[in-house]
Amino acid sequence: MSLSSTSFLTESLDPTEMGSEFTAADARFCWLDQGVLSIEPNQPSELPAAILTVGVHGNETVPIRLVDHWLRELCAGSTPISRPLLILLGNPEAVKIGERFVEHNLNRLFSVASADATAPECRRAVTLMGWVQQFIERHPDGLHFDMHSTIKGSDQDRFAIIPDACQGRNLNNLLSWFKHFRVDAWVQNISPAATFSSFTANLGYQSATLELGQVSTLNDPIDRFLPLVDELNRLAYGAGGVCEHEPTGFHVVREILKSEGEFDVCLENFVNFRRLPMGTLIARGAFEEWRIEQEGDALLFLNPAVPVGHRVALVIRALA
């Protein structure tokens, strides 16, 4: 079997032959598990490896379709792949039903706490962590892009969240790929989280969660994202090189966690990155209220529908 006779998406949702291998673009493709495709170049270069993950949330279809498109092109092309790649479809069961998740948000489960749990997303997190760990043991130097789409609209169409574990590291390689991917903004997170990108960052990778536009259906056009296919090709073949695009950097001022008891989000018409006036009331709990403390601060990922103790929003500020 090859990817030209099927597709990454189709094969990830309904696997036919696990463990099957084929050769394309002077590299060995191997389906290690459902939605887990490893690509090892026959003639490896000195380039760091790359892990690309999509469909961690089942309804975020733009990155899934983009990677599906890219892999077909990669297999059909004649340019040899020169860096090891691991491509993962995070949550096939959620993709099948077109939902963010089946029982639990997979992107909060990449931690040892999932090891003893029986819920489907916990089992999946354990499986993915196992394959990723094996890959990173073989290729300790690498990049990880976990590609998503936002629930709500955004003033920055494409943006990246850099996990806490990457703070203080030289991230030049990661930042140069942000430019190639036309990322408009990046945000340095400051608190540990059990996200997929945090997991790989803790294993030494330069990692990021990439948000590519807003959630859309499988039938919505993805034309505006297709130039990214060329950049993914560039990633597979070689080094980044120079790119003029310059994203804006932000840092997290604080994280709003859902408190016990009464909790109301007071902000209407929320948009990611929209600058807000000082004093704007964000949310009110039984004993506390949260306001914008500095003119121009903005919010990310505002979502009242989370369990107690989980993140309701991040308050962010542009770097001076």
Give the shortest CB-148-to-Zn ion separation in angstroms. 3
- Least Å distance, CB 215 to Zn ion, is 8
Among 65, 69, 139, 148, binds Zn ion (CB under 5 A): 148
Is residue 17 within 8 A of residue 34, CB to CB? The reply is no
In angstroms, the Cα distances linking 311 to 179, 192, 255, 300 are: 28, 12, 7, 10
Does residue 108 bind Zn ion (CB under 5 A)? no
Which residue's CB is nearer to Zn ion, number 60 or number 297?
A: 60
Question: Which residue's CB is nearer to Zn ion, number 40 or number 157?
Answer: 157
Q: Does 57 bind Zn ion (CB under 5 A)?
A: yes
Applying CB under 5 A, what is the total number of residues that bind Zn ion? Answer: 3
Minimum distance, C-beta of residue 283 to Zn ion, in the bound complex (Å): 21
Chain centre distance of CA 88: 11
Burial, 210: exposed, middle or buried (Cβ in 10 Å; 0-12, 13-18, 19+)? buried
Q: Give the total residue count for the chain.
A: 320
Confirm if 255 and 300 have CB atoms less than 8 A apart.
no
Is there a contact between 49 and 85 (Cβ–Cβ < 8 Å)?
yes
166: left (phi over 0), alpha (psi -120 to 50) or beta: alpha
> Shortest Cβ distance from residue 103 to Zn ion (Å)?
16
Using the rule CB under 5 A, give the single segment among 115-123, 131-139, 141-149, 239-247 that binds Zn ion: 141-149
Kindly tell me which of 40 and 60 has the beta carbon lying closer to Zn ion.
60
CB of 41 to Zn ion, least distance (A): 30
The residues of the shown chain that bind Zn ion, judged by CB under 5 A, are: 57, 60, 148
